[in-house]
Structure 1
Amino acid sequence: MNPRRKQRLIAVSGILVLLSGGVGAMLYALNENVDLFYTPSQLVDGLGEDKNKPVVGQRLRIGGMVVKGSVRRDEHSLKVSFDLVDTGPIVTVHYDGILPDLFREGQGIVAQGTLLDATTIEATEVLAKHDENYMPPEVAEAMKGIKHVPPKQTYPAGTSQ
């Protein structure tokens, strides 16, 4: 092989290595920022045909209806916790911050945060729908054809509702 061809081969190989390294780094960064969307039923029962459940510590988004009577506020801070439901299990969301003005019981919301255990989310952001007709596409698809029935849940004596 003559020196000129060898030099071209090295240059092309170097460019391909740099390009594949850049694409790999970009895919890794995107993978770290992916937040999968779940409904409370999907979170507890699993998602898809394989019934894949998120692992503790995973970042995710969850959408559902705020259960009436479930909002509990801390008197000394901005901490609030509430329950979410779609058609089945109830998931508890803990949030430390100011809730959106449109947040209320019986309304659809989307919370983004980290999974603490199988049915508890530590939210970093809570979003409420902005009018009566809007619902995030994922929530609308997950709740299509479902008529919301408030869950029957009893709270232990001495806890606020």
Structure 2
Amino acid sequence: MTRKQKRLSIIGGAMLFLGLASGLTLYALGQKTSYFYMPVDLKAAAPDPGQRIRLGGLVEKGSIVRGDNTEIHFSVTDQAHSVTVAYNGILPDLFREEQGVVTEGVLRSDGIFVADSVLAKHDETYMPPEVADRLKETGMWQHADGTDEAAQ
């Protein structure tokens, strides 16, 4: 084998290795994709039961029901529709009613969203960006001081 052929075979092998590594990385990332929905989107899109998704909105006032140990049920709303969420675990310290929340999990066939993680706001002005954007689109966004963004 000549020097030129050796170089070409090394370059070809390296390109094959990089292509394979890139393909496996993209495949793995595609498996972890979870789509973001608001409650009104769940009614329209009707994702497959068991499909991993993110559900965001506001914790509905008066909907928090604590069960045994760390079991909790609450509703996530976008002021138009609500989805009941079942969660078994420790909630973030700042989780409370009428605050922005993003939950990640699966939607059961009976319409109950089973969350395995719950993310809540971390200060007076924070709301998860996806939730804030969607609430702005529907005209339901309000700043921490209670003023409507459209009124400013």
TM-score (norm: length of structure 1): 0.76
1:103 aligned to which of 78, 82, 95: 95
Pair 1:37 & 2:36 matched: yes
Alignment RMSD (CA, Å): 2.1
2:58 aligned to which of 65, 69, 80: 65
Pair 1:120 & 2:112 matched: yes
- Amino acid across the alignment from 2:6: Q
- Amino acid across the alignment from 2:62: G
**Counterparts of 1:142-153 in structure 2 under 5 Å?**
142-144=134-136, 146-147=139-140
Contact (CA 8 Å) 2:100, 2:128: kept in 1 or not? Answer: no
Contact (CA 8 Å) 2:102, 2:118: kept in 1 or not? Answer: yes
**Identity score, percent:** 44
Q: Match for residue 90 of structure 1?
A: 82
Q: CA deviation at 1:129?
A: 1.1
- Amino acid across the alignment from 1:139: V
Aligned structure 1 segments of 4 or more residues deviating by more than 4 angstroms: none
Contact (CA 8 Å) 2:52, 2:106: kept in 1 or not? Answer: yes
- SS of equivalent to 1:17: helix
Higher helix share: 2
Q: CA deviation at 1:9?
A: 3.2
Q: CA deviation at 1:118?
A: 6.8
How many residue pairs get matched? Answer: 140
